[in-house]
A and B are shown apart, each in its own frame.
Chain A
């Protein structure tokens, strides 16, 4: 039992990173009732944005972290405009945006001359930008009525496949690693407990960001708008809240958190691959269900719980048991207490 303090420390920082990931998940579910299964791909791209900035542009990690968060946030907004917004409010802009996206994707995936691909890609990006602007300006909807219940989830699965496959093509399916000199590696030691500087960074940044998000949601105008929309988007619209803009901001926040989690965990484990989002996605699902779908505080607390369970099951049982225990917990909570440990009680059974 002498490894107990070390395992507690491991559970703490891994739980913090998981909390960072899951809070973004919960934010989207809470305000839009959408399970955004592209959140894991967003996390993965956050890690790769940081990786590319560090290795290709030779920038320090802290700078790469900030840029990666912004890039992941913008990516989340794009996912909303492509996958979710057309379902709730399709405009002419959505179609223009999609046309641009298809052109851009074609330029990326079809093997072409570099200059030709670049030219087509720029045209695609320009059309996408025009589509985004058009989409935010037009109010005339091409379709009315609510989408089928499961449509957003399936659309986000499609987005996730695209993003993972793009990463496979651009970075390669192999495991990438940050260069050794990007962050100090000498661990601090407290008696028998060792803590790497990267792990301290994960814990500190995660706590700061989660506290920042809580402050933003509770105390600012944007936060009030987000909470109003989570209560009822129809009422919010009647009260003059620019619903689609606020939803865009919510996605941006959620994406930056996923990006931060990806970049930080990518650094702490120093192991990046295009499928890294899938594993954390499933752990994240467990966390938001355990925490009560949509409850940000619940997600944070549940993340530490799940982080501890994962670390301890590896240390004391078996590495294969780790995920099995987490999923058994997931199913157990769904059956016994579908509103989650901190849920508002109404969610769950249809």
Chain B
């Protein structure tokens, strides 16, 4: 029996978006606004899709390769970019995302420049890579393509929750609150931020890789700036003071447009208004401690 029925698509996207929201949460929780997540997601998705379509390799291989490639890219990129503060980091990472998009759009031309005219079509430009459709088999009542996502999200939640209580989690919080003060306390700020940046990139790339059997059409338009903005919206709506926030935000903002299907083209109006209202009136997001522990409402003030 299919437990999810026609909702399995929505469930899959909620899970993908939770993973992406957790990736941006990590950087936000260390005081960095990085919008490179869509670019890293594209890296992961294209890695897995190319390994599947060109070499017929299973998703596990694509997933591992995506994590490794993201780390390889994020390490030098983060090394130069994380020294930038605030909006400058945001703008530079927007630039990175666009370069990735333009890169995959023109990927075949680049390959032919290097390897000669005989190189087969790999990236397929704006049309993207189309993976063959196979009706997913049900495992325990849930489509088999969704199980890896469930496992991935659970692993991420475990990672992020453990991180929060660890020494490194406190280092992240210290950097977020005051970078200079953290540096004076002997924290290696640049190193900590670099670790977080690379970790965030790997999480996004992993989500991209695991999303390929579900989206099946991997084309550059899926990874434009507005995608990065959506990811940011999940984290902002949910709040970045705890890891529950991004999960809540991703779930609400992914399910909401499905519920608002009757609005058609203008569903995004609601998304935009929700982002604005939450930043104006709920600066700590939906997962605000004061909202979760409602009996102490009004008194709990940090």
* Residues on A facing B (Cβ under 8 Å): 35, 82-83, 86-87, 90, 98, 102, 105, 108-111, 147-151, 153-155, 157-166, 168-169, 173, 278, 282, 285-286, 289, 318, 320-321, 323-324, 327-328, 330-331, 334-335, 338, 348-350
CB pair A109 B96 closer than 8 Å:
no
Q: Which of A111, A157, A162 has the most CB of B within 10 A?
A: A157
Closest beta carbon of chain B to A30's beta carbon, Å = 13
Asked if A278 and B225 sit within 8 Å, CB to CB, the answer is: yes
| A160→B275 CA distance, assembly (Å) | 11
- Interface membership of chain B positions 87-110, coded 1 if the CB is closer than 8 angstroms to chain A and 0 otherwise: 110111011101100110110010
Residue of B nearest to A34 (CB): B87
9 pairs of A and B residues whose beta carbons are closest in the complex: A350-B85, A161-B272, A158-B275, A162-B272, A165-B268, A158-B276, A327-B95, A169-B266, A109-B266
What are 6 A-B contacts defined by CB distance under 8 Å? Answer: A150-B90, A153-B33, A157-B232, A278-B226, A285-B94, A334-B92
Q: How far is the CA of A86 from the CA of B226 in the complex (A)?
A: 24
A162-B276, A349-B83, A350-B85 known; A154+B269 contact, CB < 8 A: no
Q: Which B residues touch A320, using CB under 8 A?
A: 102, 105-106, 109
Q: Which residue in B91, B99, B265, B283 is a CB contact (below 8 Å) of A328?
A: B99
Q: List B contacts of A335 (CB < 8 A).
A: 80-81, 84, 92
Does residue B114 face the partner (Cβ distance < 8 Å to A)? no
- Bound CA span A149–B178, Å: 12
Give Cα A111–Cα B240 distance, bound, in whole angstroms: 35
| Closest chain A residue, CB of each to CB of B230 | A161
What is the CB-to-nearest-CB distance from B81 to chain A, in angstroms, rounded to a whole number? 8
Task: Enumerate B224-267 residues with CB–CB distance to A below 8 Å.
Answer: 224-226, 229, 232-233, 236, 262-267
Query: B271 within 8 Å of A by Cβ?
Result: yes
Q: Tell me the complex Cα distance, A164–B80, Å.
A: 33
Q: Quick one: given A109-B266, A149-B86, are A154 and B279 in contact (CB under 8 Å)?
A: yes
The docked-state distance in angstroms from the alpha carbon of A173 to that of B33 is 30
Closest A-chain residue to B98, C-beta based?
Answer: A327
User: Closest CB-CB distance, A61 to chain B, in whole Å?
Assistant: 28
* Known A-B contacts A157-B232, A320-B102; A348 and B276 likewise in contact (beta carbons under 8 Å): no
* Contacting pair B279 A108 (CB below 8 A): no
Q: B273 on the interface (CB 8 Å rule)?
A: yes
Q: Are B91 and A334 in contact, CB atoms less than 8 angstroms apart? A: yes
Inter-subunit contact A324/B103 (CB<8 Å): yes
Binding site for A on B (CB under 8 A): 33, 80-81, 83-88, 90-92, 94-96, 98-99, 102-103, 105-106, 109, 179, 224-226, 229, 232-233, 236, 262-277, 279-280, 283
Q: How far is the CA of A162 from the CA of B225 in the complex (A)?
A: 15
Please determine whether A150 and B33 come into contact, CB atoms closer than 8 angstroms.
yes
- Checking A98, A164, A349 against B268 with a beta-carbon cut-off of 8 angstroms, the contacting residue is A164
A285 and B267 alpha carbons, distance in the complex (Å): 27
Contact between chains at B273 and A162 (CB < 8 Å)? yes
Contact B265 A168 (CB under 8 A): yes
CB distance from B298 to the nearest CB of A (A): 15
With the chains together, A282 CA to B95 CA distance in Å?
Answer: 8
B179: nearest chain-A partner, CB-CB: A350
A16 to B129, CA, bound (A): 39
In the complex the two chains form, is B279's CB within 8 Å of A111's CB? Answer: no
Q: Is the CB of B86 within 8 A of A350?
A: yes
Are A109 and B95 neighbours in the complex by a CB distance under 8 Å?
Answer: no
Q: Which of B99, B225, B266 contacts A165 (CB 8 A)?
A: B266
Contact assessment for B272 and A150 in the assembled complex, using a CB-CB cutoff below 8 Å: no
CB proximity of A91 to chain B, nearest CB, Å: 12
Instruction: Tell me if B84 and A349 are in contact (CB < 8 A).
Output: yes
Partner of A348, one of B84, B233, B269: B84
Cα–Cα, bound, A345→B103 (Å):
33
Nearest B residue to A161 via CB reads: B272
- Contact partner of B232 (CB less than 8 A), chosen from A154, A278, A330, A331, is A154
Asked if residues A165 and B272 are in contact (CB atoms below 8 Å), the reply is: yes
Min C-beta distance of B246 to chain A, whole Å: 14
Name the B residues within 8 Å of A163 (CB-CB). 272
Chain B residues closer than 8 Å to A82, beta-carbon distance: 276
* Contacts A87-B280, A150-B33, A320-B105 given; does A282 touch B225 at CB 8 Å: yes
Q: B273–A158 contact, CB under 8 A?
A: yes
Residues of the B chain whose Cβ atoms lie less than 8 Å from the Cβ of A158: 233, 272-276, 279
Q: What residue of chain B has the Cβ atom nearest to residue A149's Cβ?
A: B86
List chain A residues, Cβ under 8 A from B98.
Answer: 282, 323-324, 327
Partner of B265, one of A105, A169, A289: A169
How far, in whole Å, are A165 and B263 apart by their CA atoms in the complex? 11
Chain B residues with CB under 8 Å of A321's CB are: 106
Instruction: Looking at the assembled complex, report how far the CB atom of A149 sits from the nearest CB atom of chain B, in whole angstroms.
Output: 5
Q: Are B266 and A108 in contact (CB under 8 A)?
A: yes
What 11 additional pairs, Cβ within 8 angstroms, besides A150-B87, A328-B95? A98-B277, A109-B269, A155-B276, A162-B268, A162-B276, A163-B272, A166-B269, A320-B105, A330-B92, A331-B81, A334-B92
Alpha-carbon gap, A103 to B90, bound state (A)? 33
- Closest B residue to A160 by beta carbon equals B272
| CB of A74, distance to nearest CB on chain B (Å) | 19
Given contacts A153-B90, A282-B225, A331-B92, contact A110 B263 (CB under 8 A): yes
- Which chain B residues border A162 with CB–CB below 8 Å? 268-269, 272-273, 276
Given that A154-B279, A331-B92, A350-B179 are known contacts, is A161 also in contact with B83, CB under 8 Å in the complex? no
A109 → chain B closest CB, angstroms: 4
Are A90 and B272 interface neighbours, CB within 8 A? no
User: Across the interface, do B283 and A147 meet the contact criterion of CB distance under 8 Å?
Assistant: yes
With both beta carbons as reference points, the residue of chain B lying nearest to A164 in the complex is identified as: B268
Q: B residues within 8 A CB of A161?
A: 226, 229, 268-269, 271-272, 275
Task: Name which residue of chain A comes closest to B280, CB basis.
Answer: A86
Q: Which residue of B lies closest to A159 (CB)?
A: B276
Q: B280, A35: Cβ atoms under 8 Å? A: no
Nearest A-chain residue to B77, judged by Cβ: A331
**Chain A residues with CB under 8 A of B90:** 35, 150, 153
